[in-house]
Structure 1
Amino acid sequence: MSGLPQFRIPATYMRGGTSKGVFFRLEDLPESCRVPGPARDRLFQRVIGSPDPYAGHIDGMGGATSSTSKCVIVSPSTRPGHDVDYLYGQVAIDTDFVDWSGNCGNLSTAAGAFAIHAGHVDPARAVDGVCTVRIWQANIGRTIIAYVPVANGEVRETGDFELDGVTFPAAEIVLEFVDPADDGDGGGAMFPTGNLIDELDVPEAIVPGGKLRATLIDAGIPTIFVAAADIGYAGTELRDAINGDAEALARFETLRAIGAVRMGLIGSIDEAARRQHTPKIAFVAPPSDYVASNGRIVRAGEIDLLVRALSMGRLHHAMMGTASVAIAAAAAVPGTLVHRAAGGGERRAVRFGHPSGTLRVGAEAKLVDGRWTVARAIMSRSARILMEGWVRVPADGF
């Protein structure tokens, strides 16, 4: 309907890690969008500019990549021992849906900072030093602790911490993912099939012989790991090598769907199209020299292994925060494809090479009663407010 006014909603546009998203306080949303449902989905899509057949997000706040097509809702937590609830929506770019099936580890960093900005943390706790923000990740029902630097009662955003994949330095925020392989009641299985390596039946066009080894893990986010060499890659590839190859992307999506069925996340391959955010699919290789996307040479001696991961059907420009947790957890378990690519041995942390550079993530795995568990995973990121005020959407947009 033409001639309708625009509706304005308080919002904050933030970078968290190597992602960006539009952040809302729950209480600032229109009443119909404060609960899950079509109204909330339509609002987030209109804010981002989706679905966009041009895949450009010209008429919205999105950046037409999986890293920049995100919305977040933060609210005071009703869960004991937590400061805020953090709910994340991955908005599809050119198709009509919002995926609520997983978390964004990068924006978890910004969620901690935003909780302070939004007034959801007692100002007396954010005077000087580091403010500990306990976050309930509502999509997956897990706890994340953000250690946010503060000064004079405000979040300290500038600093000298450098994160590969982010252009400018900022203040370091340490994230702790508590029980990242737990389903919330202590009964979660880090390896859903019970195997450290599964053999997947795949089309001959993907692998001659139709058999492909994979490590299927649910830690941080459900992830499918395959060996780069098994699918014809070196593990040093940058975005254009994958994202410019439509046939390669189709093969990866087929693999992702097959793995999702094996993990029990979906009932049939056809359902994968409506669950693009999870699981992730990644390929790993032993360390070797390569040139990162900014032109820097990453030496094999700097890293333990190479990892490339896809998000929402495209090779990620760096590495998703939640997938980084999965990498660290899998690297800590002897026998997984990730552990083998990292050279084996006992490890409590791993530094891996991704398209934009390197990242170190700590995780310690233990075998308890025949089941592998990870008590926590730790990494450093940064976050910064890019813009704050109101986002405007047409009144018929939700």
Structure 2
Amino acid sequence: MAHPPQIRIPATYMRGGTSKGVFFVLDDLPDVARVPGAPRDRLLMRVIGSPDPYGKQTDGMGAATSSTSKTVILSRSTRPDHDVDYLFGQVSIDKAFVDWSGNCGNLSAAVGPFAISNGLIDPARVPRDGVAVVRIWQANIGKTIISHVPMTAGEVQETGDFELDGVTFPAAEVRLEFMDPAEEGEGGAMFPTGNLVDALEVPGVGTFRATMINSGIPTIFLEADALGFHGAELQDDVNGDAATLARLETIRAHGALRMGLIKSIADAAQRQHTPKVAWVSRPKAYVASSGKRIGVGDVDLLVRAMSMGKLHHAMMGTASVAIATAAAIPGTLVNLAAGGGARESVCFGHPSGTLRVGSQALEVDGQWKVTKAIMSRSARVLMQGRVHVPFAG
């Protein structure tokens, strides 16, 4: 029996923030994978090594975590005032599907550097030295991201002294602006239920106070103590407890239904990437996963978040946008955990350390509007060349 050879596709393996993913230029993909559909999904799953019933992704580029089972497709933008179109695919580890329902805020930091290095940006817009401003169209959610990429001697600067908790080594800082992150889109308004805090009833589990917000990524914020948590959990405190994970997934499914993101509870199984479930608490001292000591006075609040069914080792970039937005609006659970009142920035503690994020919010005719959320990340190329993949179309 004849077996076709593997195909070879130009690709770049990049870290962006606390995530890693395989980046492609759209025109480098096989013809059948240049458009949405089953062939594209099959290709990306095979690149990453999914579905893998062993949960290891040994036969692919993934590393068997939600932070590393990611793919990105970029192309020159045809939209006015944008440079590049950015499409993100979250690949399920053990199931045969790719979730296209949201963005990856961490990998957003790598989009500008990749686009510049791969000739997707008009050279006239890229300074030899200084900061290149890359205008990104986030195609999954229909939003604009402005990336500020440092340049040195005509090349993207990747090394530097910017430190990001959750990333071992320092690198160059990439500043991101998420424009109008909470404008109406899928799931409706910023607060899909119309309330800053709701009573979320979850049959068989309980009723919880919840802030359900659509900013950066749809997110359900809960109170840590209502879940039986202290708020300073690390991954091992949660991810080995099957009953706790099942309970959180049930809450996520009912929250998704309440937010209008799915039509039935059963639909949640095919939408693992969104919404996110997070819990908040007032500041308290703890030791981060790196051994770094976080004091009560180091943060405004603590936040823990689930990603693809597991507690995230740090914080998703898009969830950080949701945190920044909710913190800026008095009365949300995030704002209350941070001490209440008006604020334009917040420093929160996560399992790997701390992160400061900012948001500009204002109330107009009784409705809250956020013009942008701001955060800093870093990014660098880990490997570049061609990915080899068995693929027959």
TM-score band by shorter chain is over 0.9
Q: Structure 1 residues 21-30 or 116-125, which shifts more? A: 116-125
2:295 paired with 1:299: yes
Mapped to 1, the partners of 2:346 and 2:170 lie a distance apart of 22
Mapped to 2, the partners of 1:162 and 1:82 lie a distance apart of 29
Q: How many residues align?
A: 392
Mapped to 2, the partners of 1:105 and 1:25 lie a distance apart of 19
Mapped to 1, the partners of 2:381 and 2:208 lie a distance apart of 43
- The offset of 1:126, in angstroms, is 3.3
**Which residue in the other structure is 1:253 paired with?**
249
Cα 1:53–1:344, aligned 2, differ >3 Å: closer, same or farther?
Answer: same
**Which residue in the other structure is 2:4 paired with?**
4
The one-letter amino acid paired with 1:349 is S
- The offset of 1:122, in angstroms, is 2.3
Mapped to 2, the partners of 1:115 and 1:8 lie a distance apart of 21
Which among 377, 382, 387 is matched to residue 383 of structure 2?
387
Q: TM-score, normalised by structure 2?
A: 0.98
- Residue 113 of structure 1 aligns to a residue in which SS? helix
- The offset of 1:73, in angstroms, is 0.4
- Residue 106 of structure 1 aligns to a residue in which SS? coil
Which among 358, 364, 385 is matched to residue 368 of structure 1?
364
**Which residue in the other structure is 2:345 paired with?**
349
The one-letter amino acid paired with 1:231 is L
- The offset of 1:2, in angstroms, is 5.8
Q: Is the 8 A contact 1:140 1:183 kept in 2?
A: no
**Which residue in the other structure is 1:98 paired with?**
98
Mapped to 2, the partners of 1:371 and 1:221 lie a distance apart of 19
**Which residue in the other structure is 2:109 paired with?**
109
Mapped to 2, the partners of 1:236 and 1:395 lie a distance apart of 44
**Which residue in the other structure is 2:20 paired with?**
20
**Which residue in the other structure is 2:46 paired with?**
46
- The offset of 1:201, in angstroms, is 1.2
- The offset of 1:329, in angstroms, is 0.5
2:123 paired with 1:127: no
Where in structure 1 do 4 or more consecutive aligned residues deviate above 4 Å? none
**Which residue in the other structure is 2:197 paired with?**
197
* Runs (5+) with no aligned partner, structure 2: none
**Which residue in the other structure is 1:237 paired with?**
233
Q: Is the 8 A contact 1:305 1:353 kept in 2?
A: yes
Deviations 1:80-127 (A, max 9, x none): 000000000000000110000000000011011111011011234231
Q: TM-score, normalised by structure 1?
A: 0.97
Q: Is the 8 A contact 1:127 1:151 kept in 2?
A: yes
**Which residue in the other structure is 2:55 paired with?**
55
Deviations 1:3-41 (A, max 9, x none): 220100000000000000000000100000000000100
The one-letter amino acid paired with 2:57 is H
**Which residue in the other structure is 2:158 paired with?**
157
2:207 paired with 1:211: yes
Matches within 5 A, 1:332-347: 332-347=328-343
Mapped to 2, the partners of 1:342 and 1:180 lie a distance apart of 21
Q: Is the 8 A contact 2:99 2:271 kept in 1?
A: yes
- The offset of 1:184, in angstroms, is 6.2
Mapped to 2, the partners of 1:240 and 1:115 lie a distance apart of 37
Mapped to 2, the partners of 1:3 and 1:266 lie a distance apart of 41
**Which residue in the other structure is 1:285 paired with?**
281
Q: Is the 8 A contact 2:103 2:217 kept in 1?
A: yes
- The offset of 1:189, in angstroms, is 1.3
Mapped to 2, the partners of 1:390 and 1:348 lie a distance apart of 44
